[in-house]
Amino acid sequence: ARKYESEVDIACETIDTAVRALDAIYKRCNEIQKVVEQLASRLHIETQQLKSIKNLKKDSAKKAFHQAALIAKADAVRLKADVEALALKDPALGSVAGNIRSRFAVNPELLESTEYIRGQLAAVLGKQAVDLHPFSIGAQRVVSYTSRGGRDGRTPADTVAYNVIGTLQGTAPDAGYYIICAHNDATGVRTSGGGAWLHDPAPGADDNASGVALVLESARLLAGQRFPWSIRFIAWSGEELGLLGS
């Protein structure tokens, strides 16, 4: 009987050891399962991230292609025509004596270029999308500017100048807006012998009819696009007299 009892005890111990081993294996399996689940979850996240990056690259490539296509549509002939229309009284006559315009801020000739800009913006954005923003230029401001170095300081009357503002409305009212701008007015004061604001030419082909031409061309290229934000195309006046319009 004692022999059998001893064998039973041994068998029970063996079974207990086996049970403990199985329990340890079960716990280890659970741990491995959790690790596998974590790895699977991480792999899923990384896969989604890779898909997002891939889609982003595709979107970026599409945007870059679209932007390049828009830039390619910029027309040098139109840009030159804009500069000539702003700097010359009659572009067909070319840069000959008597045909050079003045776009000095208080010279009446500036109104002609102001209307040209308004017309060009209205042609692509619509008349309702273009506004004139008036502001005053005091006579003393002009006297102070033109009388430097003994130049002509004759006093003009107080003047109303105009910024031209064309708006391409965005699709999201709260998205804000961007500004594409350049100043329309010019000056001849820095020209040797110049400064008689009423008579001296101030065509400003480079400063800054070329900039205004880029604003107009940008409006032409972007008018058919739609963005969440709005874009304001602005030609400032009074810049040469101290950034007045802007």
Among 98-102, 120-124, 221-225, top mean pLDDT goes to: 120-124
Q: Determine the Cα–Cα distance for residues 91 and 99; give it in Å rounded to an integer.
A: 8
pLDDT at residue 134, as a whole number:
95
Residue 44 above 90 pLDDT? Answer: no
- The lowest-confidence range among 48-57, 81-90, 167-176, 190-199 is 190-199
Best CA proximity match to 117, nearest among 208, 197, 178: 208
Q: Is the peptide bond before 208 cis (omega within 30 degrees of 0)?
A: yes
Mind listing the pLDDT tens digit for each residue in 8-28?
677 778 888 877 888 888 888
What number is the average pLDDT over the span 46-52?
79
Look over the chain and give the mean of its residue pLDDT values, rounded to a whole number: 85
Predicted confidence (pLDDT) per residue in 190-231, tens digit: 655 555 777 778 899 999 999 999 999 999 999 999 999 999
H-only helix segments in the chain = 2-72, 76-87, 110-125, 139-146, 210-222
pTM score, whole prediction: 0.73
Residue 151 pLDDT grade (very low, low, confident, very high; cuts 50, 70, 90): low
Banded model confidence at residue 87, pLDDT cuts 50, 70, 90: very high
Give the pLDDT band of residue 36 (cuts 50, 70, 90).
confident
Nearest to 165 by CA among 155, 175, 177: 177
Pairwise CA distance, residues 204 & 207, whole Å: 5
